[in-house]
Amino acid sequence: MTRRLGIGIIALTVVSAVVGPWVVPHDPQVQWLAHRLEGPSWPHPLGLDELGRDILARLLVGARISLFVGLSVVSVSASVGILIGSFAGYVGGRTDNVIGRLMDVLLAFPGILLAIALVAVLGPSLTNVVLALVSIGWVGYARLVRGQVLKIRELEYVQAARALGAPVSRVLWRHVIPATLPSVTVQATIGMAGAIIAEASLSFLGLGVQPPTPSWGTMLDAGRAHLFDAPHLTLFPGLAIALLVLGFNFVGDALRDQIDPRTN
């Protein structure tokens, strides 16, 4: 039930992000200054923001940014993490030790602290947000994959491939990495939620996407100044973030239960 709800939320967001900006009659950048901070009305179902811009139109463009950040961060982090984690786990020895220490150092930074630090020095931009989130994101995948590879490399079919003289790259690519993919898929689904929240957090702190580009986090930050007189500025972008993140969490949770029924 929750899985279907999750898939429904994600599908709705994707469709809205792709076709929405063409369907909504308003330009997200056009300002109706005389009507600024106006609440929901028929022509503007979610109201207007502090510069009189249509909130629905901006939310739809913001959905593209959230999905873009989520997809790029997760795909790059997962690819890097799988490569490094499988190599470290399969080869073992000193290589594994060095990579393990590097991962320990990166894991010593809680949450998005390192991303905040990186964006603080590199400067706020969408590219730097993705770069910062990838630089911390790959570690989780690498650790997960490394742990799995330690078990998989001892399995008979992997040892048979090795005994037949297959090179390391082939054993990893054909036999080891595919076996880690179910767990990686679960982590990636939950990782989408994490990346979307992280981007919104950075933008909320003024370290992510810069105005006038409409990001959900930036919209929430702008709404903070109008909590008393126009709460709809805060309400709708936050609701959009929470729903999309909930959707990915629902799906991730259901996938995890399917892969490992003991967790249920």
Contact residues for another protein (CB under 8 A)? 2, 101-102, 104-105, 108-114, 116-118, 120-123, 193, 197, 200-201, 204-207, 217, 220, 223-224, 227-228, 231, 234-235, 237-239, 241-242, 245-246, 249-250, 253, 263
Of 16 and 234, nearer to another protein (C-beta) is: 234
CB atoms near residue 161 (< 10 Å): 17
Structure tokens at 72: 């790029």
**Residue number, 115 or 145, with CB nearest to another protein:** 115
The minimum distance between CB 115 and another protein, in angstroms, equals: 10
Name the minimum Å distance from CB 254 to another protein: 11
By CB atoms closer than 10 A (0-12, 13-18, 19+), residue 264 is exposed
CA 95/CA 90 separation, integer angstroms = 10
Residue closer to another protein, measured from CB, 90 or 204: 204
- 140 Cβ partners below 8 Å, 6+ apart? 77, 81, 187, 191
Helix (H, G, I), strand (E, B) or coil at 48: strand
Q: Which is nearer to another protein, 2 or 29 (CB)?
A: 2
Tokens of 184: 């990686």
* Closest of 106, 23, 78, 52 to residue 194, by C-alpha: 78
Nearer to another protein, 161 or 205 (CB): 205
The nearest distance, CB 105 to another protein, in angstroms, is 3
Q: Kindly give the interhelix angle for 232-259 and 177-204, rounded to the nearest 10 degrees.
A: 170
Q: Is-contact 81 147, C-beta < 8 A? A: no
Q: Identify which of residues 13 and 180 has a Cβ nearer to another protein in the complex.
A: 13
Tokens 């593209």 identify what position? 64
CB of 177 to another protein, least distance (A): 28
Q: Please state the closest distance from residue 158 (CB atom) to another protein, in A.
A: 25
Distance between CA atoms of residues 243 and 157, nearest Å: 43
Radius of gyration, CA atoms only, the chain: 22
Q: Which is nearer to another protein, 33 or 242 (CB)?
A: 242
Shortest Å distance, C-beta 220 to another protein: 6
CB of 189 to another protein, least distance (A): 13
> Which residues on adjacent β-strands are paired with residue 54?
48
